[in-house]
């Protein structure tokens, strides 16, 4: 059995404090030229400037926040499971090991250790790779006396370089050359890197947005032009200037009646280019992240865009779930199994379950038809199709209620509820639960009768069994009155069990061979 080597973090607490104190705002005064230089450096493997710019845009821009949340958060809320590769005891053991590990792992952030959680936080951090291109976790293994757990420490991308074709950790703030990531000690999630295109859209959105704000500051409030016949600097002139100043100082002037001032044309508020440019970039950001305009932006153009976006998000969720599953299988599952069992090949694996949107009624009808036709359907296939996780060992399994025996009611009359239609699935669920509870209560009340009937059925001699059945039929009223308190239930059960005993005895007699039949005729029951 291998022993985990990495038990202390390479990213120390002092490094986090040093970085926090040296933080700056990379988007303050950001220009297209500077952004272009950041993106070129990013492609060359120098990730720091672009990574910090991407992170700040993702924190500050309202459209990016909305789209990224809408795209990434659903995957972090999905259910997960551990699947064995076969039915062997070894696979079951690996499944148990991985379940214990994932249920006990911890996730945190090296720059904000108050951010703590389990698998869901880990998944949310891993999905930042969709925007940033890579998401890196340092794995600090924590062997226990009864198992193994680990702490996954999320390390932002600016602490790495990619100049050799693989991510390498920068050991200091001023380092340019990184050190290789130790196998088994780091997990790297690789995504699409949508923030590269998003940052360009943000740049060309912020420019008209700033100009629009400046225009509103200067021309959003009408200016005041006062005219007077008073001489300049006279008391009357000064009084008018003071009065005009009370209305507005930025755009107010006083002139003589004969003065002429021609305003510089700036265009009317209705045909300014700024709103159209801002909206165009917001739509571009939405398309980058969710494959279409947000539903709120598409509302004014009908429901087509909103429906298309919903379908796109469903497909993207499946892709994100597959990305998480593949990454954890490669970087975590095999190391956990290796450390716990010494084997390099795990016989179970982690899987994040995407939301499956299926026509349930149609699928159920098809499955029932196939089963009736003798076509085999795997249980794991059914669980995957309907999004149901495999039950854990020891779980109480949900089972269908036992079907009522085909007994005559009231001399062969119609059965209760035979022609009734269940109004909906909720009523059917309530009715099934009520019947299960009633069945359990009645089974307990009728235990003396059922125990005695079981003993009679165990009698091998036909004559002795017939005599015992006859005696049971005679004793039936007394047994029921002792076990069941409700007189109506006593009458109903007496009718049911009496008819059942008679029917069962007659059927047994008709199926016996002549040699097995008793010499004397059976007395009528």
Q: Does one domain contain both 292 and 437?
A: no
Residue 410 resides in a domain: no
Q: Does one domain contain both 211 and 309?
A: yes
Q: Which residues have a Cβ under 8 Å from the Cβ of 112 and sit 6 or more positions away? A: none
pLDDT at 291: 81
Q: Does one domain contain both 13 and 135?
A: yes
Structural domains in the chain (count): 3
Q: Does one domain contain both 316 and 376?
A: no
Q: Does one domain contain both 443 and 377?
A: no
Comparing 145-159, 273-287, 445-459, which segment has the lowest mean pLDDT?
Answer: 445-459
- Residue 148's DSSP bridge partners are 143
pLDDT tens profile 87-133: 899 999 999 999 999 999 999 999 999 999 999 999 999 999 999 99
Boundary residue ending a domain (330, 355, 380): 355
DSSP assignment of 186-218 equals EEEEE---THHHHHHHHHHHHHHHHHHHHHHHH
Residue 332 resides in a domain: yes
Q: How far apart are CA 98 and CA 9, in angstroms?
A: 23
Residue 243 resides in a domain: no
Instruction: Give the residue, 418 or 157, on which the prediction is more confident.
Output: 157
Tokens of 161: 């370089």
Work out the percent of the chain whose per-residue pLDDT is above 90.
Answer: 37
Comparing 8-12, 107-111, 150-154, 345-349, which segment has the lowest mean pLDDT?
Answer: 8-12
Q: Does one domain contain both 348 and 364?
A: no
pLDDT at 517: 43
Residue 238 resides in a domain: no
E strands along 68-159, which residues?
Answer: 80-84, 106-109, 112-117, 134-144, 147-155
pLDDT at 454: 78
Residue 415 resides in a domain: no
Whether the predicted pLDDT of 170 surpasses 90: yes
Whether the predicted pLDDT of 275 surpasses 60: yes
Whether the predicted pLDDT of 47 surpasses 70: yes
Please say whether the beta carbons of 83 and 348 come within 8 A: yes
Residue 260 resides in a domain: no
pLDDT tens profile 155-164: 999 999 999 9
Boundary residue ending a domain (355, 383, 416): 355
Q: Which residues have a Cβ under 8 Å from the Cβ of 92 and sit 6 or more positions away? A: 84, 393
Please say whether the beta carbons of 352 and 325 come within 8 A: yes
Residue 398 resides in a domain: no
Boundary residue ending a domain (302, 331, 355): 355
Q: How far apart are CA 141 and CA 152, in angstroms?
A: 9
Task: Report helix, strand or coil for 116.
Answer: strand
Q: How far apart are CA 501 and CA 472, in angstroms?
A: 9
pLDDT at 520: 41
Please say whether the beta carbons of 332 and 184 come within 8 A: no
Q: How far apart are CA 484 and CA 43, in angstroms?
A: 82
State the residue range of the domain holding 441. 425-516
Q: Does one domain contain both 101 and 138?
A: yes
Length of the chain: 525
Q: Does one domain contain both 138 and 29?
A: yes
Residue 226 resides in a domain: no
Q: How far apart are the first and last CA of the chain?
A: 71
Nearest to 445 by CA among 498, 481, 488: 481
Q: How far apart are CA 504 and CA 514, in angstroms?
A: 18
Other CB atoms within 10 Å distance of the CB of residue 428: 11
Q: Does one domain contain both 486 and 375?
A: no
Q: Does one domain contain both 182 and 324?
A: yes
Q: Does one domain contain both 386 and 462?
A: no
Q: Which residues have a Cβ under 8 Å from the Cβ of 314 and sit 6 or more positions away? A: 355, 357
The dihedral through the CA atoms of 30, 34, 35, 41 has a sign that is: negative
Q: How far apart are CA 10 and CA 160, in angstroms?
A: 13
For 450, phi then psi, to 5°, come to -70, -35
pLDDT at 522: 40
Q: How far apart are CA 370 and CA 448, in angstroms?
A: 42
Q: Does one domain contain both 208 and 140?
A: yes
pLDDT tens profile 184-234: 999 999 999 999 999 999 999 988 888 877 777 766 666 666 777 777 878
């Amino acid at each position: 059995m291998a022993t985990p080597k990495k038990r202390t973090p390479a990213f120390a607490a002092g490094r986090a404090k040093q970085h926090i104190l040296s933080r700056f705002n990379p988007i303050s005064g950001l220009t297209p030229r500077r952004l272009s230089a950041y993106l070129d450096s990013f492609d060359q493997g120098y990730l720091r400037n672009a990574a910090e710019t991407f992170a700040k845009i993702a924190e500050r821009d309202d459209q990016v926040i909305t789209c990224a949340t809408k795209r990434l958060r659903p995957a972090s809320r999905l259910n997960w499971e551990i699947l064995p590769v076969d039915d062997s005891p070894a696979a079951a053991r690996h499944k148990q090991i991985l379940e214990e590990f994932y249920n006990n792992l911890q996730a945190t952030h090296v720059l904000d250790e108050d951010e703590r959680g389990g698998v869901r936080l880990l998944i949310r951090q891993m999905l930042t790779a969709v925007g940033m291109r890579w998401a890196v976790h340092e794995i600090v293994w924590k062997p226990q006396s009864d198992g193994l757990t680990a702490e996954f420490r999320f390390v932002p991308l600016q602490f790495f370089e990619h100049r050799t074709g693989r991510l390498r950790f920068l050991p200091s703030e001023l380092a340019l050359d990184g050190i290789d990531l130790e196998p088994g000690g780091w997990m790297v999630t690789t995504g699409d890197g949508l923030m590269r295109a998003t940052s360009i859209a943000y740049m060309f959105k912020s420019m008209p947005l700033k100009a629009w704000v400046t225009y509103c500051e200067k021309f959003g409030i009408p200016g005041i032009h006062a005219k007077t016949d008073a001489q300049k600097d006279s008391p009357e002139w000064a009084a008018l200037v003071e009065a005009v100043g009370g209305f507005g100082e930025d755009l107010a002037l006083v002139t003589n009646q004969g003065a002429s001032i021609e305003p510089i044309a700036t265009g009317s508020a209705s045909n300014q280019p700024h709103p159209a440019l801002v909206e165009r970039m917001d739509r571009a950001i939405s398309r980058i992240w969710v494959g279409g305009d947000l539903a709120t932006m598409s509302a004014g153009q009908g429901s087509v865009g909103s429906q298309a976006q919903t379908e796109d998000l469903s497909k993207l969720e499946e892709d994100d779930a597959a990305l998480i599953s593949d990454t954890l299988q490669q970087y975590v599952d095999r190391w956990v199994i290796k450390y716990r069992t010494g084997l390099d090949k795990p016989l179970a694996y982690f899987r994040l379950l995407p939301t499956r949107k299926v026509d349930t009624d149609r699928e159920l009808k098809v499955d029932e038809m196939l089963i009736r036709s003798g076509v085999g359907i795997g249980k794991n296939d059914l669980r995957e199709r309907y999004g149901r996780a495999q039950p854990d060992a020891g779980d109480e399994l949900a089972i269908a209620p036992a079907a009522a025996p085909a007994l005559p009611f009231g001399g062969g009359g119609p059965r209760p509820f035979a022609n009734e239609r269940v109004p909906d699935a909720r009523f059917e669920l309530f009715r099934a639960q009520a019947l299960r509870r009633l069945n359990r209560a009645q089974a307990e009340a009728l235990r003396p009768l059922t125990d005695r009937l079981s003993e009679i059925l165990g009698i091998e001699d036909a004559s002795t069994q017939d005599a015992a059945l006859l005696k049971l039929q005679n004793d039936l009223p007394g047994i029921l009155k002792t076990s069941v308190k409700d007189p109506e239930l006593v009458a109903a059960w007496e009718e049911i069990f009496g008819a059942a005993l008679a029917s069962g005895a007659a059927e047994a007699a008709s199926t016996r061979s002549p040699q097995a039949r008793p010499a004397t005729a059976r007395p009528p029951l």
